Amino acid sequence: ELVRIVDNIARDKNIDRESVFVDLEEAMVSAVRKHFGESESEIVVNIDRATGQVNAFKDNEAIDISQLGRIPAQTAKQVMIQKIRADERDSIYAEFVQRKGEIISGSVVRYEGGTLIVNLSHRTEGFMPKGEQIMGQTHRPSERLRCLILDVKESSNQVKIILSRTHPNFIRRLFELEVPEIAEKIIEIRVLAREAGYRTKVAVASLDEKVDPVGACVGVRGSRIKNIVDELGGEKIDIVRWNESSQVLVANALMPAKV
C-alpha cells in the first residue's frame, strides 16, 4: 500500500520516486522526535523500496512507529506535504529553466491585475505581464495560446514562468516552427525588427542557392506566413531578401514580399 502511494505521488507530481521515499523517511523522523520530545537522540527510519516495510530506530533500538499517536502523525503529514511541495517546485523549475526561449502552448485561465494567467500543464501556470501582451488583443478563458518562455524565476514558495508574445524571439520561434528550412538552418533570419501588434520586418538569407528564402518563408499561396499572421492576430509581416549592402537591403525593405 505504501509503495503504491509513493508511486502515485511520484507520477502525479513528476517527482523522482526515490525523493518521495526520502521525504517520507525524514517526515517519520520528525514524528518520532515529536513523540519522544528529544532532540539529541539518534533517530533512523528506513523504508524498504520494494515492500514498503518501515523500520524505525531510536538510539539503535527498534521502535513501533504505528504506536506514535495522532499528534506525531500530524507532524509527519505536515512535514511530508512541505517536502513534496518543495520537490515539485524544484521539478517544475528544472523542467522549464532549460526550455527558456522556446515556444509553449497553453490555455488562458484569467486576467489578474492586467497579467494574463496561462495554464501550461495540470500543475503549472505561466504569467504574461501586460507589457508582454500584444496591444489590443484580449483572450478568453480556455482559449489556446502560443507563447515564448521568456524567463523562469524560483522563489521560496513558487516557480514563476514569465511568458511573452511581444518579444522578437517569439517571431523567430514561430518561423522555425512554420518554415522547415529555417529549423534545418538552410535559411537564416539575419535581421528582425518588430513593433508588436503592428508590423514585423524580417530579412532572410539562404545558404543553398537553389532555395529562395523569401518564397520558402511565404509558402505556397502564402500558407506558411498566414499561419504566423493568424497566430499574431493579423500583425503585418514583411519578408525581404538579406543583402550585405545596406542600400540594397533598404531598397528590398521598401518593396517587401506582399503578405
Asked if 70 and 126 sit in the same domain, the reply is no
- Look at residue 246 in the predicted model and tell me its pLDDT: 63
Q: What is the helix (H) or strand (E) element at residue 98, kind and residue range?
A: none
Which pLDDT score is estimated for 251?
Answer: 62
How many domains does the chain contain in total? Answer: 3
pLDDT tens, position by position, for the chain (259 residues)?
788 988 998 888 888 999 999 989 888 888 888 887 767 788 899 999 999 888 888 888 888 877 777 777 787 888 888 888 888 898 899 999 999 999 999 999 999 999 999 999 877 999 999 999 998 899 999 999 999 999 999 887 889 999 999 999 999 999 999 999 999 999 999 999 898 989 899 999 999 999 999 999 999 999 999 999 999 988 999 998 887 766 655 665 665 544 3
Regarding whether 50 and 29 lie in a shared domain, the answer is yes
Task: Give the pairing of strands 61-63 and 54-58.
Answer: antiparallel
Choose one of 164, 181, 203: the last residue of a domain.
Answer: 164
pLDDT, tens digit, for every residue of 30-67? 888 888 776 778 889 999 999 988 888 888 888 887 77
Beta-carbon contacts of residue 104 (< 8 Å; ≥ 6 apart): 120, 126, 146, 147, 148, 149, 163
Domain assignment of residue 259, yes or no: no
7 lies in the same domain as 93: yes
CA distance 158 to 207: 44
**Among the three residues 148, 164, 180, which one is the final residue of a domain in this structure?**
164
Residue 136 located in a structural domain: yes
| CA distance linking residue 153 with residue 136, whole number of Å | 27
| The pLDDT value given to residue 248 | 59
Pair 176, 156 in one domain: no
Asked whether residue 147 is domain-assigned, the answer is: yes
DSSP labels for 125-145?
Answer: EEEE-GGGSPTT----TT-EE
Instruction: Report the SS3 class of residue 103.
Output: strand
Range of the domain at 233: 168-254
The count of residues in the chain is: 259
The enclosing domain of 64 has a CATH number of: 3.30.1480.10
72 and 137 inside one domain: no
> Does residue 206 fall inside a structural domain?
yes
The residue type of 140 is R
Residues 84, 7 within the same domain: yes
Asked if residue 157 and residue 123 are part of one domain, the reply reads yes
Supply the pLDDT for residue 259.
39
CATH of the domain at 153: 2.40.50.140
| pLDDT (0 to 100) of residue 37 | 74
Ordered DSSP codes for 198-232: TEEEEEEEESSTTS-HHHHHH-GGGHHHHHHHHHT
Same domain, 110 and 186: no
- The predicted pLDDT at position 256 comes to 52
Buried b (16+ CB within 10 A) or exposed e, 73-86: bebbeebbeebbee
In this structure, which amino acid lies at residue 161?
I
pTM for this model (two decimals): 0.78
Q: Are residues 31 and 82 in the same domain?
A: yes
> In the chain, how long is the greatest CA-to-CA distance?
86
Q: Are 71 and 127 in a shared domain?
A: no
- Flag whether 44 is in a domain: yes
